[in-house]
Amino acid sequence: MLWIPGPTEVRPEILAECARPQISHRGKEMDALSARIDPHLRLAFGLAESSNAQVAVHTCSGTGLMEAALHGVGPRTLHLVNGAFSKRWHEVALALGKSTTKLEAPLGETVAPEAVERALAEQGPFDAVTLTVNETATGVRTPLGSLARALRAAPDTLFLADLVSYLGGAPVDFDAHGLDFAFASSQKALSLPPGVAVCSASTRYLDRARKSKRASFYLDPIRIIDGHRERATIATPCLPLYFALARQLEDISAGATLPPSERGRTGADAWSARFAKHVRMQAATVAWALGHGLALLPVPELASPTVSCLRRGALDVEKLTKALAKRGELISNGYGELKGHTFRIGHMGDHDETALARLLVAIDELWPTVLA
């Protein structure tokens, strides 16, 4: 079973959707398929009651939509970096020839809102600020509320957010947090195979993007958003994953992915229950870790609800991951410079508390044999 921070487990009925007969991507069946997706995607982004933003699906990785987001903004960008995936924003911006400024926080922390305010005041104006809300490499969640308040000091600056390991596992309020472009990929908390990415874009982002010099065809955000809305995708999409996405989003909204005791909940209430399940799994993981003398890399108030990054303590991470793999349970070593010093448990998507408890018991049983 996959307990890595993505890809994560996919239910058999969702895998079966990928085996459906193909359809024309320029016909009425495709129109109907996209229409099935959109209302549930709006729930995921917190846009059910909003007319401020458009949603879209694109056949690419999350990094593809990260690049697309940057194609739609002006040349000056501010990047909040606290791990490997937030650093990617900066790397992509450099590759696109942007004039970049980087604010870095130590691993396990977030960039302070006060530092953002100072940068906006002293080094601005910026066309956009980028953030990875849930840093998969470190298990750190950046609180969007405090950062959104800091960005109010620069109301003309667009706010771009990577929600790759967050969307579907925690609540997003696109409008309240002042987001202008946000994206996620399919293989993490949405519990789908990898291969498609989803996004939402504000009206003001789209207005600016239409006027910007967008040096891309396939990753042009306007072509992506307009193509989805008009049911005229840029190119042939990955139809099997569209089938799977539609079914999974419908099932989440119907409460079908919840524990049996909660399966009467539907709509936004079902999504809230899914988010609460992630909080419980994170709490169970942290309680287990503390009970074994292990510590989280981030401070508790910044801990991710979808992936826990734990300091290894007395464990040999390489021994632990190999021993668990022999039992069919996969967790992740630390990422980048944290390799060997931390390990990560991805408690996201359609995993439940019962399966998580089995994983933690398996580590308990292996404990004497995987010490450093």
DSSP states along 260-317:
GGGTT--HHHHHHHHHHHHHHHHHHHHHHHHHTT--BSS-GGGB-SSEEEEE-TTB-H
> Is 329 a member of any domain?
yes
The answer on 247 and 270 residing in a single domain is no
> Is 27 a member of any domain?
yes
The answer on 304 and 240 residing in a single domain is no
- CATH at 326: 3.90.1150.10
The answer on 175 and 49 residing in a single domain is yes
pLDDT of 150: 94
The answer on 227 and 279 residing in a single domain is no
> Is 115 a member of any domain?
yes
- CATH at 51: 3.40.640.10
> Is 133 a member of any domain?
yes
The answer on 348 and 203 residing in a single domain is no
pLDDT tens by residue, 158-167: 999 999 999 9
- The mean per-residue pLDDT over the stretch 100-106 comes to 98
How many domains are there within the chain?
A: 2
The answer on 91 and 124 residing in a single domain is yes
The answer on 288 and 195 residing in a single domain is no
58-61: which pairs have CB atoms within 8 A and are 24 or more residues apart?
58/196, 58/197, 58/198, 58/199, 58/224, 58/228, 58/233, 58/234, 58/237, 59/195, 59/196, 59/233, 59/235, 59/237, 59/238, 59/241, 60/196, 60/197, 60/218, 60/219, 61/185, 61/194, 61/195, 61/197
- The mean per-residue pLDDT over the stretch 164-183 comes to 98
> Is 314 a member of any domain?
yes
pLDDT of 142: 98
- And the tokens for 2? 């996959």
- Alpha-carbon gap, residue 140 to 142, rounded angstroms: 6
The answer on 91 and 186 residing in a single domain is yes
> Is 7 a member of any domain?
no
pTM to 2 decimal places: 0.97
DSSP string, 175-232: TTTT-SEEEEETTSTT---SS-EEEEEEHHHHHHHHHS----STT-HHHHHHHHHTT-
pLDDT of 266: 98
Q: Given 205, 226, 252, which residue is the final one in a domain? A: 252
pLDDT-derived band of residue 290, with 50, 70 and 90 as boundaries?
A: very high
Query: 121, 84, 133, 82: which is closest to 103 by C-alpha?
Result: 82
The answer on 313 and 228 residing in a single domain is no
> Is 260 a member of any domain?
no
pLDDT tens by residue, 116-135: 999 999 999 999 999 999 99
> Is 261 a member of any domain?
no
Q: Given 252, 287, 315, which residue is the final one in a domain? A: 252
pLDDT of 43: 98
The answer on 318 and 184 residing in a single domain is no
- And the tokens for 137? 């490499």
- Alpha-carbon gap, residue 338 to 273, rounded angstroms: 33
Which amino acid, residue 309?
C
pLDDT of 121: 96
pLDDT tens by residue, 191-214: 999 999 999 999 999 999 999 999
Find all residues with CB under 8 Å of 247, minimum gap 6, and list them.
13, 14, 17
Nearest 5°: CA angle at 327, between 323 and 330?
75
- Alpha-carbon gap, residue 324 to 86, rounded angstroms: 29
- Average per-residue pLDDT for the chain: 97
Find all residues with CB under 8 Å of 8, minimum gap 6, and list them.
2, 187, 188, 189, 191, 346, 348, 349, 350, 351
- Express as a percent the part of the chain with pLDDT over 70: 100
State the residue range of the domain holding 117: 12-252
pLDDT-derived band of residue 7, with 50, 70 and 90 as boundaries?
A: very high
- The mean per-residue pLDDT over the stretch 100-126 comes to 97
Q: Given 223, 252, 281, which residue is the final one in a domain? A: 252
pLDDT tens by residue, 24-58: 999 999 999 999 999 999 999 999 999 999 999 99
pLDDT of 344: 99
Three-state SS at 80: strand
pLDDT tens by residue, 315-367: 999 999 999 999 999 999 999 999 999 999 999 999 999 999 999 999 999 99
Inter-helix orientation angle 62-71/221-229, to 10°: 110
pLDDT tens by residue, 229-245: 999 999 999 999 999 99
Q: What dihedral angle (degrees, nearest 10) is formed by the CA atoms of 209, 212, 215, 221?
A: 0
The answer on 40 and 182 residing in a single domain is yes
The answer on 270 and 185 residing in a single domain is no
